[in-house]
Structure 1
Amino acid sequence: MTQSSVSGPLPETFRALRMLRGDSGAYPEIQTLPLSALPPGDTLVRVAYSSLNYKDGLAVAGRPGVLKTYPMTPGIDLAGEVLSCPTGAYVPGDAVVLTGWGIGERSDGGYAELARVNADWLVPLPPGTTPEWAMSVGTAGFTAMLAVMALEDHGVTPERGEVLVTGAAGGVGSAAVALLAAAGFEVVASTGRLQEEAYLRGLGAARLIGRGDLPALTRPLEREQWAGVVDTVGGDTLRGALAGTRTHGAVAACGLAGGSALGGTVFPFILRGVTLAGIDSVTCPVLRRRAAWARLARDLGAEKLGDMVQTRSLTDLPALAEAILAGQVRGRTVIDVNA
């Protein structure tokens, strides 16, 4: 390791939330670990913040299917500063953000004070932004931005009519509402928490509909209502959203909180020319990532996040995991890993 690739002495230990597996299942534990416990990788990052996403909730709550091995540090995103990078892609002190690429699932993730990762997974923080802002946006906001870009790529413009966001009070949904409103769209927010009307209107929603309105759309083709959809729910909600999408509209699908099955018929696709665009934030190409983060810095700056964000500590994660799985977490939760 060259002198230019590392800044000062490296820490000998770090704190992390680890998921362990015992006779009664998986459980979380805060541990202090040696540097040697970090996974392979070419870049060492001092983590400042991570965030709470639905997938993180599943992992920390010990639900099967997310973590591929144990012990494991969850946290599917992180932001901080580079401590060492022998590849030369970054220099010590560079501010970076990382989402996806299997961290917090197949390799240790962001719920730790240090992370060792591959340099080509990282994205430089846009100028004028901070690691805390990056995790206020996080995987959820990044996913929402990719969904908005997908709608635009398929010709959805504000002049074509309303755009629907399902699961609108959640992390991805909240960010999508704000981003679409910033782009000039008239946004319809679908939510099971109609008591959050003031919050959603504050983000830019023009009107709200209830969670049950979309599954109730059971005909193969319903009245044409929205030019585009950002769907974070899946299941019958996605089926109903497709049936009500206008001719040559587009639906960006990025979630399955309401189920992974895709029901309905092919009629929206072959009779109305509706496009169903899948959003994968995990393996998104680097150039698309950088474009999305640049757009996020422009359209979802810290001043616009407002009531969308709360900041909590590593020790709060077990309770937060249960809350997000129960649909009780509004907007975005930033995790200060050093608190």
Structure 2
Amino acid sequence: MTLPPLDEVLDRLHVVALPLVARFRGIDTRELALIEGPEGWTEFSPFVEYDDRESSAWLAATLEYGWSSPPPAHRDSIPVNATVPAVPAASVPDVLARFPGCRTAKVKVADPGQRLADDVARVAAVRDAMGPEGRIRIDANGAWNLDEAEHAVRAMEHHDLEYVEQPCASIDELAELRRRIARLDIPVAADESVRKADDPLAVARAGAADLLVIKVQPLGGIRRALDIVAEAGLPVVVSSALDSAVGLSMGAALAASLPDLPYDCGLGTGALFAEDVAAYAAHDGALPVRRPVPDPALLERRAVDAERRRWWAERIARCHALLASG
């Protein structure tokens, strides 16, 4: 795809700050950029701490989605999981109530300042709420070392885990953990080892994961993500990066274009926002595949101040220059 001119991109820019219903990933408000492209609305939302090199892949995805049509779809709705932040166990039923119809829950664990006992209690509360038929996956975001990960998985194995996502940071640790827990029949999923790696295929080549969690913006767009999936040869879960409705639709377009989709996807995170830019949510546990249009009143109400808009515009300009330079 030919890179659109920077002026054209910035002329279509809106920057918003969306409040969350509960603290997630250490933030209470999600700041992100929305751009109205010729093919529809698109999103640029690398977290504010990400550097320009990493963020430029996100911009490539943004421009692809806004300036070209997505690949053909194999399905018109995407089954999604509930997402349970690192809340107290007593708050779990209220969180799950925001995800009606979801048969799977992803539970955040290993949150800074919490103990393994907090994680075990949270997972137990999810199991109690979902019953024996519910599916539970846990996500440590690479926070455990190898021994901590093995201990934690064994502490929660009786809750019938679907898989454990990025329990350790390194590929070597993932491979060794996979060996240690092989008899438990709990798959290991890689997320950060794909989206934050110089080589997103290294974890698959090393035999360090049973499945991959893929996110369209960090991987540089729908088509590049499809190429990675095809070459990796592993089943995948399409997930979000705490995107707005617009970014979630990009993930839904990727999930729809995959020939096989064996797992529920992490694209129901719109339920974590107290207010989003458009009405686009899962119903009966599934997200429709379509492009939402932001509400102008919401864009205005949630718009950031001039200084923050300038910060995002300058960030986009730097990332655009990196893409233009190859």
TM-score by length of 1: 0.34
| More RCO (CA 8 Å, sep 6+) | 2
* Greater helix share, structure number: 2
Larger Rg: 1
* Greater strand share, structure number: 1
